[in-house]
Structure 1
């Protein structure tokens, strides 16, 4: 008799009827390349024209393979007849390509591209309008004018798409066949699309609920799945507490010793550090057991009272390890933005609350509850571990970090659903150099903005976004904007 399959809610083993046993890993995309040239021109310039155009298109293919080295680029060759277009479209459909890069090597009637695209209408299209160089050759001949006549084909095809209602979000990139900036733009778009697709395979766990009264964080699991992509899985608090009670003492002591050796700990007892280390073991095992990619936990008040600690050592260690993404207070939308930013940048973003402003610096103080990757500290040697300054009924001092974020270009974002649907906040700023830590027993950052600070805050408040924000190093504004478009949601950019 076969074993009885149970829900993850009650099963004692590791096989569940309602969770995938082997969740598909984030895989590379298949990029189909459609390159066209007009057969009529070959007889007009026999021996050279087709060879030169094919050489140009091979150059494009080679560059795409170089910049998209994490993906698979599929090129069925130069299309120059309707039969070739039909064959190429069927080939790319057979390969199940995820996205199309269309390139004209000469002017070419739109029926060829349409014939190929009929087979792969599911895939978004990047129209790469290109030519052999970035300069006009004032000594050129008519053969080379035809060789560089892709703009006619691009304009014609894009206009045809408009008339047909195809590809309303057509991505257009302009550059020569060796233009690194153009290939960079293509790579950004494909990277954003990949992250958008990966969200559909992302499992986010929720332990507890949204902090009472934080209506800005409230969410609808069905809306999230249908619009943003991730699966939201409610995990009973008892599952975490079971892991906490069953945590292996040897493993806890190993984490405790590592924590004591790494950080300057002020005002905490050995038991405070032990309990926080125990919480790390419990949280990591919960993530592993339920095949989660990310998790949000309401620590206040119940969990902290039952465990006698905060989740902040656990969250910090998990952020530094980089495999899972965690936050607190039931901020599911913030967790989704953290997931997106982590995939785009390869770095775990930080999690903060908007704070007070400085008119002279044109900046804001950002603060949150004691956890983030400690590599983001201005000076790693000054990172301090102290009590959690917010006490929510736990016995003991809790656990938190104090340091100030290092300087650098940053992107700030969050999501909210309002009466008109979802919208994404996208803001570029600069984390300023603060030479000494702000002595508030918390993680802080001072972020400067291009927009005058008081008008910025006026419009931000009026627009209506969450009181949390997610901060990532680097400029991710363009990719976030693209992902918002893929989701079909509004975006507010400052």
Structure 2
């Protein structure tokens, strides 16, 4: 993902300070960015020292298809430079000031004070920005800067994405309601509606003869499940995949029950897991906001994610169990195990894949519309523990950093939906920056 990020790089300075020393810092910043994998940089080599230069620098950066602009606060400057630079440059903005060691002599840079003036002016002007203070080789500084850049890149990447709703939400699943206009105006995501009969009609025409063996070769117990329903399930996957590709859809929110099983005769669980492993994000129960959360978590982690219900909270052990019916991506299976072919745990229709998920650091997230229509993000993290399968379907036991009692109270008191997206890795700072840039409410547990 980072290789696709495009960043503008500018330095502000004042001639009465040590511009030469500031330029050394600017060079270290550029080298650090490249070492972190950000090598598509539009760098303006000449320091910006006058208001008219700032306007000219902005004009040079416009039209360069940038994700964000990083401003190096090389020395002290008054706020006119940053206001002129950003006047017509509507891009996520990061300003980086350098720490100056006391020498007993004059301030050579006074970089932080310049950032302070810029922060005051931008805040008064209602302009969002992020200020950073520190050395490039500081791990915390690196993490903060990369999180900001990755969040800014995700915002740009989302614009123009297409999500397909297959069927409609199950009766009473108000948690799958969504605001189509809000999705477009907030994230730039458009929605396409696909009736279930279109999927079923296409699926019934697909010949499995050459594909069934390759799709099921890694499944234990495949011969023990009812063959006709299994073939329906496999045909359903192939139909959904073809529709997603033909319509250039980036994500799907699928009505996986009741009609998939009752009317069509095969479960959608296998398709959900397989599509996610192939990079076509797919959420069950027509959960649109869940699918968008998965889309972002997949973008940042470069791995498939697990959409799950929270089913057990252990207050003594400070652990939560997340579960779903058998549609988890097989790439997330626990070590040394193979997926087991089986039936949907409640409807008893194949094809679901049973397995526990692997251990590792996890981020738990959920995009959700609040009562006022403003989007919010639920965020938490923990450590996934390797266990045997805890319930039929897919399970992951996560040990939390915070008390379970507090976590459950936060979820319930804020009225969050019942689906949570589990991603491997620590994506908390990316989510925070994403929310801050888009003015989303953050609810952490």
- TM-score scaled by length of structure 1: 0.83
Shift of 1:402: 1.4
Kindly indicate whether the alpha-carbon contact (under 8 Å) linking 1:205 and 1:296 is maintained by their aligned counterparts in 2. yes
Q: Does 1:188 align with 2:188?
A: no
Q: Does 1:112 align with 2:92?
A: no
SS in 2 for 1:360: coil
Shift of 1:198: 1.8
Kindly indicate whether the alpha-carbon contact (under 8 Å) linking 1:280 and 1:314 is maintained by their aligned counterparts in 2. yes
Shift of 1:472: 0.7
Q: C-alpha distance in 2, partners of 1:52/1:452?
A: 48
Q: C-alpha distance in 1, partners of 2:10/2:182?
A: 35
Q: Does 1:294 align with 2:224?
A: no
Deviation string, structure 1 residues 267-294 (Cα, Å, up to 9, x no partner): 3033333222212211111111211111
Q: Does 1:226 align with 2:185?
A: yes
Q: Structure 1: where are the runs of 5+ without partners?
A: 1-24, 42-48
Question: Displaced runs of 4+ in structure 1, greater than 4 A?
Answer: none
Partner of 2:428: 477
Q: Does 1:34 align with 2:2?
A: no
Shift of 1:103: 1.5
SS in 1 for 2:62: helix
Partner of 2:416: 465
Partner of 1:64: 33
Q: C-alpha distance in 2, partners of 1:103/1:90?
A: 18
Alignment of structure 1 residues 238-277 onto 2, 5 Å: 238-247=197-206, 249=207, 252-265=208-221, 267-277=224-234
The count of corresponding residues between Structure 1 and Structure 2 is 443
Q: Does 1:212 align with 2:171?
A: yes
Partner of 1:430: 383
Distance 1:80 1:260, change over 3 A: closer
Partner of 1:412: 364
Partner of 2:392: 441
Shift of 1:70: 5.8
Distance 1:281 1:417, change over 3 A: same
Q: C-alpha distance in 1, partners of 2:221/2:112?
A: 64
Shift of 1:211: 1.1
Q: C-alpha distance in 1, partners of 2:136/2:316?
A: 47
Q: C-alpha distance in 2, partners of 1:304/1:210?
A: 15
Deviation string, structure 1 residues 78-130 (Cα, Å, up to 9, x no partner): 1234443333222122535442212122222222333333342x122111111
Q: C-alpha distance in 2, partners of 1:410/1:314?
A: 24
SS in 2 for 1:95: coil
Shift of 1:362: 1.6
Q: C-alpha distance in 2, partners of 1:254/1:347?
A: 28
Equivalent of residue 344 in structure 1, options 284, 300, 317: 300
SS in 1 for 2:142: helix
Q: C-alpha distance in 1, partners of 2:136/2:432?
A: 26
| Farther-moved stretch of structure 1 (178-187 vs 273-282) | 178-187
Shift of 1:375: 2.7
Partner of 1:329: 285
Deviation string, structure 1 residues 59-94 (Cα, Å, up to 9, x no partner): 222322333526433324212344433332221225
Distance 1:108 1:115, change over 3 A: same
Q: C-alpha distance in 2, partners of 1:444/1:240?
A: 29
SS in 2 for 1:209: coil
Partner of 1:6: none
Larger Cα-atom Rg: 1
Distance 1:381 1:254, change over 3 A: farther
Kindly indicate whether the alpha-carbon contact (under 8 Å) linking 1:315 and 1:326 is maintained by their aligned counterparts in 2. yes
Partner of 2:274: 317
Deviation string, structure 1 residues 22-76 (Cα, Å, up to 9, x no partner): xxx99944422221221234xxxxxxx4433323222222322333526433324
Equivalent of residue 128 in structure 1, options 90, 96, 103: 96
